[in-house]
A and B are shown apart, each in its own frame.
Chain A
């Protein structure tokens, strides 16, 4: 019974929370690679150099099914700063506030640029940890002033050095500020887009040119996806899912075997009762129905208990990851779990019930 209860609870939890868990897992997987990050840009050819993405394009991409968010960025690889009389060249990104969530960046110190920073064109900057080290000789530089192209900027945050790669040597400032104040900044010709899960990448990526071209003229458009990483993540996820579902099936089968054993024992210990009932005129079908009903009751009760455990697990998990799984899906899983349990009860109880129903009356009555 415990096995069936656990199997049902696991089934309900995994199916109901599956997508939300996958999204969270997806975010965490960024540590391993940027599988769900799609980069959209114009080819770096002179003919397309001045191509811009519009904010309407970004909005259209954000509305695509399977897209979590999209961010517009500008950049320059020739930003210059002077700190304590020493000149430094570095790369600089002008980013909107969606950029951080899209790229999965967080700070080790201070904060990220916000919507207000963008709206007010604030002169604030977030530094990659290696760039902070290079410029200031240390990484706790929040509140420090930094001169970039003769403007003074306040360092408001230093990024965590997790999954940054080369961007650890970059500086980031509000998109609007970069467009206004940074010389030789690129046009807004790159969009970073995050899909909800790795399963969405191959659905979203082919549609991106279509969506963009429905909003603006976009020759020389390039969509860059880390297909190798997507493939690898999907392979890992497939095996993990296979393992989990196999475990659930194995648990349910174990429960079925348990019920089979219990029912076999019940038939053995109640042999005289069976004989007596047959002597009273009980038909084979009546005896079979009795034992089948007992097996189904056992299985159904266990599944019901599992549904309550599943409900609790879903509540706790959704609270922990701040998600709202659809109620309909939960109910569907509960009903499916109960139906599977009934099927399992019938399957496990069939042979013992058949044995009880075909029992010879005299042997049963004389059974010690």
Chain B
């Protein structure tokens, strides 16, 4: 463990946060979760607390607010917030500090807001709780919403949390956190659930707040974000800080093996990697694996009086994907990429246009033709914990998948399948709820591979995983494509993640296709300004001190 905290004395009054040898234990089973963490944050500095799930980073963050969850006990150490040992204070003393001295922003702002009160009301209440008068509280609400760079603070103040977009909601959460002028902000993965371009905006806001003197602890697993935003970084593994220091030396020259592993697993756009050469589709006379011509998808909501609103989830999308290639469909939420995925695998039929997948006209898919189609086209779902039956063991799930194509599937075929996705055979008897996230996703991939499909569609297959697992699963996909002439469609919001394995990149925005470009060309210079914005917004661990930009060019949106 690297000694990090400043010596007692000169810096005592200066640091807004100082944690000294904090030890936390789960009282049930006496598991040590945090094993002696020390760190400090000075005003105006941003500390990145990096680690994977289970590293204890969230617990460390919570202890800064004096909010240890039930069943967690402190076995040693101190947490000083603005010089006060917050964990030793009485509950009402802690409450007084919370908000006015230390504040928190969470990953999901919706769970932090009361759903039945307007944003303005909640900030107002937070101010009143700390004894601010009615008139000045009212003024402060608008002031702080403006400070969070929310356009038209008055309007936002009268909105309910669910009426705001994800990015605006997170800004409103930051405004709520800032209401009582804290000097320390604990931000627990505040941008993980946001789209890249929205994330970039929130990161810039946090940087500006820090430059105005706020101390920030930024809990994250994304080293790219740390590189852009933070001044210092502490890497946590199994409840210990394994490496810490200024961002530049740690990220440029990590010393601890875990930091090195974490860094090498982080996707990046700037690495000098050989990109795959564009496939020459003209040479092969084969018909395309997937052909989409003018596909549109509208969702109508039936109003009480006649027709209600119509949502154009997809408008006039056309592209072709040659056999044996890997294509990435990239876009942010609302881009229509999920709708497109559902069309490609036949879960929905387009309202207009033609979609042909593996020779099957999708508008003519009927129960009889569906049987054959299912063997040729498979889908890997985003979240395996939701798409796999929690009551079945891995073996049962794989056997079932094999059984669809071949009723007499043998246990040896299960083992073979298991090896193909590098799943340890020992876990076959376990239920999926007892598997790790990465293992669970491997079971899902194995299931999709069971009927030996020609086309595999993967819908954000790694977005629920830690960075190191993300990389391993992406590696597996690469391997599978190489093995047999598999056509792979990778749906993602992360351009860095798919960079090294894709032949073609398709970008989508508001239901429209922005461009479909060979990867080599795309990553060098995309044709479309939105694609460029998306590339610019990707955090990258090698761009230290460089915050991603967030300017989304004005583009024609959806029609209707």
Q: Do A and B bind each other?
A: no
Q: Which residue numbers of A lie inside 8 Å of B, CB to CB?
A: none
Q: Which residue numbers of B lie inside 8 Å of A, CB to CB?
A: none
